Amino acid sequence: MGTAAWLGIGVRVRFLGVWLEPEAGYWSRHETAFGLQSSVRDVHAGANAQWALLRHGPARLLAAAGASAHGVTSSGGPLGGASAAETHVYPGLQGWLSFELRLGERSAAFLGGRGDWILRGSREDEQETRLFGGIRLGF
């Protein structure tokens, strides 16, 4: 049995005619099986360039791609016992596709899918996908 959580925040800024979104996020997964427990935590920071693929009235389809750095901590051990942990920083690539519906002049609801590719060097690369959604507020 396992659990997973992901939380992220980003800010859109227009720079030299391109929409950029610096972002930070946290992802974790915990699993327990056969008297053992393991967990993985990923704190990441990155930036995406984004563009609107389609626009129709208050709706638009957005895409973004960018680079990131991931601080990944892995730990494991027996239930109730001592565990071992290690932390490494890896470069990564990321991208997402989302549907956005304008709710007002400075707000929108969004729903999309995201992919992260963590480049782990001598170890096998990690690829994560997730669905996300929420409310976007403008200032």
Rounded to two decimals, what is the model's pTM? 0.79
CA–CA separation, 90 and 121 (whole Å): 8
The pLDDT, as a whole number, for residue 78 is 84
Give all strands (DSSP E) within the chain, no chain letters: 2-10, 13-15, 18-33, 36-56, 59-78, 84-104, 107-118, 126-137
Tens-digit pLDDT profile for residues 20-72: 999 999 988 888 888 888 888 999 999 999 999 999 999 999 999 999 999 99
The pLDDT, as a whole number, for residue 38 is 86
Please give the mean pLDDT across all residues of the chain: 88
The pLDDT, as a whole number, for residue 2 is 53
Tell me how far apart the terminal alpha carbons of the chain are, to the nearest angstrom. Answer: 42
CA atoms within 13 A on the CB side of 46: 27
Check whether 86 has a pLDDT greater than 70. Answer: yes
CA–CA separation, 63 and 67 (whole Å): 14
Confidence of residue 8 (pLDDT cuts 50, 70, 90): confident
Check whether 4 has a pLDDT greater than 80. Answer: no
Q: What is the CATH number of domain 2-137?
A: 2.40.160.20
Every domain of the chain and the residues it spans: 2-137
Tens-digit pLDDT profile for residues 71-80: 999 888 888 7
Check whether 125 has a pLDDT greater than 90. Answer: no
Confidence of residue 100 (pLDDT cuts 50, 70, 90): very high
Check whether 98 has a pLDDT greater than 60. Answer: yes
CA–CA separation, 121 and 124 (whole Å): 7
